[in-house]
Amino acid sequence: MMKLPMDVKGLPSPCYIIDEQLLEQNLQLLAKVQSDTGCRILLAQKGYSAFSTYPMVGKYLAGVTSSSLFEARLGFEEMGKEVHIYAPAYREDEFDEILRYCGHIVFNSVSQYVKFAPKVRAARAAGHTVSCGIRVNPEYSEIETDIYNPCFANSRMGTTLSQFEKALEQHPEVLQEIDGLHFHTMCEQGAEVLARTLPVVEQRFGKYLKGMKWLNFGGGHHITRPGYDVALLERCIVQMQQRYGVQVYLEPGEAVALNAGYLLTTVLDVLENGMRLAILDTSAACHMPDVLEMPYRPYIIGSGEAGEKEYTYRFGGPTCLAGDIIGDYSFDHQLQKGEMLVFTDMAIYSFVKNNTFNGMPLPMLATYSEKDGLKIVRKFGYEDFRMRLK
């Protein structure tokens, strides 16, 4: 049975805990991929953005990638290395500031690049180094959940080959001004999926890669998952770099902090309605939205599947949302009010997506290391709820 490396007794609940040792293990593996291949790996801040750990992340990775102005500024100010950005569309009133923070800007379409090209040219003339690229959609993906599939039918993410070539007929100068192409087709997948995807990318966009400086493989690479074929990933990277003379980038979010965090929660009440029910001080809707969006069932230390152990409970949050259900879990003992439980793999897509719906307090954020023990990084209170509503 999995055990926590730290003693959480007395720690206020709910609380996210980032295990810095597990985080560093992930970073060391990613750094080895960089060293072995010459690729550059970026932290996708949409999956993990606990910037108190950015000094550690920056020791191993090339920088960050962002999906918004605020993420770009966070990476620029807190890590100070490469800052990349991609968004389906950019706002005119934000673009000058984006240029201030970002060295790489990926546009969703040729028309988006054309719209902002004068600002890019002016920034370059003023001495700012900025590399621009286009996100392409190879119209191939093996993701089964549409909400996470950027290549599903009628997707707004990226430019298809037909759109790309039609736009280049009107704006042929774009090929001389952009430096790279970006594709993102994966979600929580292995290198074998990448190996099947690359031939499609080459078939559709290979003739344009010869003149590029870089190629971004996007995110969704589960590199630090047990059993991931790192050797195959490295062969894919080296193959593309040698064939086209490009610098390969990868931008995983989950892989950086996979299995490196916990969410401490407390049982508030136990009741029955056709089955045993337990209400926690943690909400799926507020504190781990992917449980409802993906959906998935996060693991709780010491638990089993429904019916596996003697006592099965359905866990729900304290909000008024009827569907605020986390899942069904079984235990060897009857749960007691006030008992603490621990969800695993809660460093990713948790505090980056949480919210204060129904006035739910945000969980505290803590870090753990053998050297420093448990440290409270941030506590949240009423003002964090109130300030968003005025």
Using H for helix, E for strand and C for coil, what is the string for 192-233? HHHHHHHHHHHHHHHHHHCCCCEEECCCCECCCCCCCCHHHH
Task: For 172-200, write each residue's pLDDT tens digit.
Answer: 999 999 999 999 999 999 999 999 999 99
Task: For 7-29, write each residue's pLDDT tens digit.
Answer: 888 899 999 999 999 999 999 99
| Neighbouring C-beta atoms of residue 210, cutoff 10 Å | 10
Structure tokens at 317: 């949050």
What lies within 8 Å, CB to CB, of 336 at 6+ separation is 267, 270
Q: What value does the mean pLDDT take over residues 92-99?
A: 98
| Neighbouring C-beta atoms of residue 86, cutoff 10 Å | 25
Q: What value does the mean pLDDT take over residues 231-260?
A: 98
Task: For 284-320, write each residue's pLDDT tens digit.
Answer: 999 999 999 989 999 999 999 999 999 999 999 999 9
Residue 265: pLDDT band with limits 50, 70, 90 = very high
Residue 155: pLDDT band with limits 50, 70, 90 = very high
pLDDT of residue 10: 82
Q: What value does the mean pLDDT take over residues 133-155?
A: 95
Q: What value does the mean pLDDT take over residues 154-173?
A: 97
DSSP three-state, residue 278: strand
Q: Which CATH architecture has domain 38-257?
A: Alpha-Beta Barrel (3.20)
Burial class (CB in 10 A: 0-12, 13-18, 19+), 173: exposed
Q: What value does the mean pLDDT take over residues 93-120?
A: 98
Whether the ω angle into residue 138 lies within 30 degrees of 0, i.e. cis, is no
Task: Give whole-number Cα distances, 274 to 269, 277, 305, 312, 314, in Å.
Answer: 16, 9, 18, 12, 11
Residue 2: pLDDT band with limits 50, 70, 90 = low
- 84-88: long-range pairs with CB below 8 Å, 24+: 84/42, 84/216, 84/249, 84/251, 86/135, 86/182, 88/156, 88/157
Task: Give whole-number Cα distances, 373 to 51, 312, 343, in Å.
Answer: 18, 34, 19
pLDDT of residue 256: 98
Task: For 321-348, write each residue's pLDDT tens digit.
Answer: 999 999 999 999 999 999 999 999 999 9
Q: Which CATH fold would you assign to the domain 261-346+354-386?
A: Lyase, Ornithine Decarboxylase; Chain A, domain 1 (2.40.37)
Cα 216 to Cα 275: distance, rounded to the nearest angstrom: 49
User: Which amino acid appears at position 11 of this protein?
Assistant: L
Enumerate the domain spans of the chain.
38-257, 261-346+354-386
pTM for the whole thing? 0.96
